Structure 1
Amino acid sequence: MDRILLLEDGTVFKGKGFGSLIDTIGEVVFTTGMTGYQEIITDQSYNGQMIVFNYPSIGNTGINRNDYESIEPTCKAVIVKEFARVPSNWHSHMNLDEFLKNKKIPGIAGIDTRKLMHLLQRKGVMRGTIVDVQDDFNHAFDQLKATVLPIQQVAQVSTSRPYVSPGNGRNIIVIDFGLKHSLLKELNKRDCQVTVLPYDTPAKAILNLEPDGILLTNGPGNPNDLPQVLTMIKAIQSKVPVFGTGLGHQLMASANGCSVVKMKVGHRGLNHPVKEMASDRLYLTTQNHGFLVDYESIDQTNLLVTHVELNDGSVEGIRHRHYPSFSVQFNPDAAPGPHDATHLFDQFMELIDFWKGEKSVWPNEQT
């Protein structure tokens, strides 16, 4: 079916619909990753967003059971130059078109995605809608301009009930803001006993579980919409080691007095170069965020910058000067992307052991 992508600045892209053929509205963002489309689509950090894939051909390896980052993805649309109708991968059990139909996610193909990406780079991310070509254009445009994007996005993707991923090692509490399954896999590799809690769990309930460490996960939306979480972080960070990733990093920074601001164009894709300040080591990282910690606001806090993005100098990691807490903006679990930063999970384990008195050296003092 002929469909159009209409942006809030009036730009129109014509294409062919696939997946679900429902109309949709969301924030249009692009990712530069050449691989890992299944992990990208099922990453809950894309909640409410229409994903533009810069790589021209998507869906070549189909959909398999091992690469889900969530069971029910909540992105609003998939926008591609072309999609593969017949995937080539022995792991595949359905193609991209079937998957999007099953998940009720619209797709549109035949779009000049490079042109669209350059437009978003120049003007910044904007709202968009996908409708049938025969729909009333003026009505669709009026609806788009009148639509207010949701603000309580974490509430849509966080677990509503606690659950456990058993292990025999350290007792780790995971606060779910829209976690990726690969985070749990990294903890399971280290034989952790993992308990996943809803995002709005109060500090007292968390500490009553006697955690060895607490992981603040990635997730969608604006950290400034979660004041109750900031209160929780302030209450726990002096009592138990805390590790934040993605949105968890932004929330930890906000809880300690930093400003978090929306970016004109977010970092979404693979192979973003990040430098570790203490060692001058370079890591290639996976990123997916539209907000960042304001560098200048860190000076008046008890935080130190540990990592910076080499392309634009933005803050990519922080740690507390006095408490056993640290965080990174990128996805150390990768999935997809390079695994350069998985050692941060080991650093988290070492920090826990130091805090419990089982090691004599704080990991940050080793560099």
Structure 2
Amino acid sequence: MATADDAPTVPGQALGGPGAPRQRRESDPATAAPEHLDLAALEAEAAALLPPAVADFYAGGAESETTLAEAPAAWRTWRLRPRVLTGLSAVRLRTSLLGSDVATPIGIAPWAYQALAHPDGERGSARAAAASGALLTVSTSASAPLAEVAATEPGAPKWFQLYRQHSPAHTDDLARRAGQAGYRALVLTVDLPVLGRRLRDVASGFALPADLPPGNLPTESAVEAESPVWTVDDIARFGDLSGLPVVTKGVLRGDDAARCVQAGAAAVWVSTHGGRQADPAVASAHALPEVVDAVGDDAEVYVDGGLRSGSDVFTALALGADAVFVGRPAIWGLATGGADGVSRVLDGLTAQLAHTMLLCGVPDVRSVPRDAVTPAR
């Protein structure tokens, strides 16, 4: 999708004022090789810093954790098909997501209770996203109230993720408040009719500390019976309540994606919920092409789940995603370095993506061709 700035760019120095998406200057690709980003080492460092129950809460999946384990490997079932002798000397990383300009197609997925990882919590993630020109998605189960996170770097684009986990009145109120606070889209998590069985949390007895209540928890007077299970009719309803475009997150089937778009969704987000819901489920890397084909040009498509390198991101874009989102890598960065740690993850992955694009002869993240990847044999 076109944006106002069509200059070719690669990772480089930040430009622009506070809160503006970070723009990346053109540089010589011969000297622009990305710094080494060792996410496995970062995960180990984060696990060593966190209390064991918190580390398991962030790391764990549902049931047998098959979905969790298979997610990264699924991206490696595709192979790059580089195009040579293209004369390419720079690549364009900027794009637009539901009308918001961003400096990178790599955003931060919603993740609960980030203050357990670092005292700055979601505010730290908001500062990091703004510094890297990335889009931040804020969870209903954030440690900080949605308005406070929205007010952190207010000029930077943020989306609010909505769960069906409180009373109908409180859930509706959260949707309204998200629109009023300046969020630019409402992300409905649609893969949670019931909570997945996360056995690590059961074994560890994970519970929130008494001094860290969720930032968007209803008051006792607002607690009622749990919300009824959502249907596609709720897509338009929540759009009306919030005044925002609606993204449906947690879609793994083409027919479901088509129903969501027909019901008013502006975008579909392919996700296994970090392997924390149905298990074993189809990997996002394998579900993505079917969803893209079903949606066509009628809506944007995003994906998360196991993305651990710039080549993974490139593969997702080639398969038709408009953007990708990372969850656990951002948490590892937050735990080990606060906002700066999250920025290092975002910038490192973006630099890897730019490097892969140069190697494959692809100039623009908005037009990575489908034939740039092929199934492994």
Higher strand share: 1
Higher helix share: 2
Larger radius of gyration: 1
